[in-house]
A and B are shown apart, each in its own frame.
Chain A
Amino acid sequence: MNLLKFFTAGSVDDGKSTLIGRLLYDTDSILADQLEALQQSNRKNDDGTIDLAILTDGLRAEREQGITIDVAYKYFQTDKRKFIIADTPGHIQYTRNMVTGASTAKLAIILIDARNGVVEQTIRHSYLVSLLGIEHVVVALNKMDMVDYSETVFNAITEKYKTLADELKLKEVTFIPVSALKGDNIVHESKHMEWYQGRSLLHFLETVDVEDKQSYNLARMPVQWVVRPQTDELHDYRGYAGRVLSGSFKVNDRVTVLPSGSSSVIERIEIFDQRPEEVHAGQSVTLHLKDNVDISRGDVLVNADHLPQNSKLIEADVCWMDARPLDESITYLLQHNSKVTKAKINEIVYKVDINTLEKENAVDFKLNDIGRVVIKTADELAFDLYTDNKANGAAILIDSRTNLTVAALMFRAVADY
């Protein structure tokens, strides 16, 4: 059985929390004591039924304000698959929390209120999905019960959304008409929409193909830790421990160590007491090399025939996440997997108005702003372009005065100056 992480984009007004509550409720994922706590709560729907939204709003402030502020993770499973839901806030002031939840997701559910159609928020959420390179998109047209389950309404909105999806180059988009409140097409197929021949949301989530389709060649493993027991019997043991970011490594593969550029051959692969011949993206492993090479944390082992980019000057999309605006005079820390180096923003190329998708000249760059910058790093970075290899194409910026994570970076090109 495999695992699918997805996130939901929308606001409470679109019925986002109700949709998640419905998924959990109709798959029997809510336990009796949690249900009892729900029934005792003062928050009820107008018709007196349980307000499923409070299942996901975990913080006091969220329950008080009736909004989602930070991402909450929910877990459920069916016979076919295990799911992790990142329930992310939809309001513009919490964009950074949505990006947090979305960064590890393979699928996005974008909620549209069928009464309102594609609105500014839909454009913003879809833009973030495209920016983060989320592979699969489900557009859930919610509150179909409020528009008489009308096929005409559904078709009009999907047509409009397809134009947006083309503009944003979204790859796989699936449209599902639902009513989270009434339970139509969430888990059970709706009896009110004979005209819809597709799968229910859950059925879709259970069957969508989310296997990694990556080039075998993009083998990358940042070294997190060097295992050196230094005991008498294991005197020469030297294992490079890390998680395979992408691609595959096999025994006898030639690897290059970056940034030094030295190279060797894989002698042995260990996963605790196992000695696999081959390991793949996602696995945490220990590699042994035939030669004694100088390797420490922050270095990355890659397929010697398919080297990543190597540069100190990089063009990147940036999502700013701190209350202090971007400051071109400050030296930040850039963390790229296990590598940390000093970095400066050399240039702000443009800022994107995420409600209209217009690019504009930027004089400043503040919390939740998104745009393109040129970054200069102290050490060379061994990276891939985010579109080619997400796992090795992203980084964060840290403000060393506050130690806060202030930006998400997606590498788009080697900057040529």
Chain B
Amino acid sequence: MSKYNLDYLDELEAEAIHILREVAGQFEKPALLFSGGKDSITLVRLAEKAFRPGKFPFPLVHIDTGHNFEETIAYRDKMVERLGEKLIIGHVQESIDQGKVVEQTGKNASRNALQTVTLLDTIEKHGFDACIGGARRDEEKARAKERIFSVRDEFGQWDPKRQRPELWNIYNGKIHKGENVRVFPISNWTELDVWNYVKRENIDLPSIYFAHYRDCITRNGQLMAASPFLNMDEEDIVENKKVRFRTVGDMSCTAAVESEADEIGDIIAEISASKISERGARMDDKVSEAAMEDRKKGGYF
């Protein structure tokens, strides 16, 4: 008999690599959804560990709202060049120009909700049968319920009442034509796990995750980056503050937190002590108790 015990990060890593290789083995045309955020950057590192020195068996797909932090786009392009992998971009602006979605108006307008249509169009256009995403179950209570292999119908919809049983580490990726599967390899990771992994692996991140000075306004009690994408008026007072972002999404719905943490050890200390969840800084989740569940039923990530 031998006794051994994996460290938790090794165990989470091994599980995620196993899931990525199952995707490669089971699907014809998978894709990795890349947002430029730390979770999808972590996925990319895991994909390197799963498939190198071979090529990734899938392209990276970015659904671009057009309202990006420029640091994220610069990071994305540099990373793709380093990897030598294919990047496909779906533009929300295109969906707007085609009249498929209508831009929101008013003070709290955001393109976050419009992404779903662009995402579904991109999936259909390229015939993707599996989309790998960086969602985690600790983020939100509807996500806490979702399977690692989450089957979506032809319209991208999640049906929480008809989820397949997911047993042991055996993943059933069988689908009918037109359906697709969303796959979440880091389902079991927490925000802190991701940061500890980023630190351990020495992964480079976009600079907006670290404390920096930026012009901000306060909206609904949240600090928002002042930008042309935010509908601002005279009531909005612009203040220059030292901030960082805990998640990276559309500029119009991602709030900053005041922070002095400009290196990764400080960030881990800050999160460990924090009493606010990272989704607490997402305006899109504040709408109602079932906001995420409803968006997922509609085809969201």
Contacts and interface: CB of A to CB of B under 8 A. Distances in A.
Nearest to B281: A33
B18 A284 contact: yes
Nearest to A400: B174
A188 B207 CA distance: 42
Given A34-B277, A97-B165, A216-B2, A403 B175 contact: yes
A263 interface: no
Nearest first, the 6 A-B pairs at minimum CB distance are A58-B141, A33-B280, A284-B17, A403-B174, A224-B21, A32-B275
In this complex, which of A34, A74, A333 has the most chain B Cβ atoms within 10 angstroms of its Cβ? A34
A405 B165 contact: yes
Given A61-B161, A73-B187, A75-B138, A333 B2 contact: no
Contact of B164 (A82, A242, A272, A405): A405
Nearest to B17: A284
Contact of A394 (B2, B55, B160, B170): B170
A415 interface: no
Interface in B1-49: 1-8, 10-15, 17-18, 21-22, 24-25, 48-49
Interface string A211-245: 11111100000001101110100100100011100
A50 to B, nearest CB: 15
Interface of B: 1-8, 10-15, 17-18, 21-22, 24-25, 48-55, 57, 137-138, 141-145, 160-161, 163-170, 172, 174-176, 187-188, 190, 192, 274-277, 279-280, 289-290, 293
Contacts of B14: 243, 282-284
A357 B55 CA distance: 52
B136 to A, nearest CB: 9
Given A60-B290, A224-B22, A396-B172, 5 more contacts: A225-B51, A227-B54, A242-B18, A280-B6, A333-B174
Contacts of B274: 31
Interface string A311-340: 000000000010000000000010111100
A2 B18 contact: no
Contacts of B144: 56, 58, 72-74
A268 interface: no
Contact of B167 (A32, A60, A73, A405): A405
B145 A403 contact: no
A369 B160 CA distance: 23
In this complex, which of A99, A212, A234 has the most chain B Cβ atoms within 10 angstroms of its Cβ? A212
A396 B170 contact: yes
A147 interface: no
A27 B176 CA distance: 44
Contacts of B49: 271-272, 284
A96 B1 CA distance: 34
Contact of B170 (A73, A99, A237, A335): A335
Contacts of B54: 227-229
In this complex, which of A32, A69, A212, A225 has the most chain B Cβ atoms within 10 angstroms of its Cβ? A225
The secondary-structure label for the interface of chain A is mixed
A391 B168 contact: yes
B168 A104 contact: yes
A213 B3 contact: yes
B165 A282 contact: no
B137 A337 contact: no
B161 A58 contact: no
A248 B7 CA distance: 17
Nearest to B297: A60
In this complex, which of B22, B143, B144, B277 has the most chain A Cβ atoms within 10 angstroms of its Cβ? B144
B22 A100 contact: no
B167 A394 contact: yes
In this complex, which of B25, B168, B277 has the most chain A Cβ atoms within 10 angstroms of its Cβ? B168
A59 B145 contact: yes
A208 interface: no
A69 B141 contact: no
A71 interface: yes
Contacts of A284: 13-15, 17-18, 21, 49-50
Contact of B12 (A3, A74, A297): A3
A58 B21 contact: no
Contacts of A213: 1, 3
Given A103-B168, A391-B168, A41 B289 contact: yes
A395 B5 contact: no
A69 B160 CA distance: 10
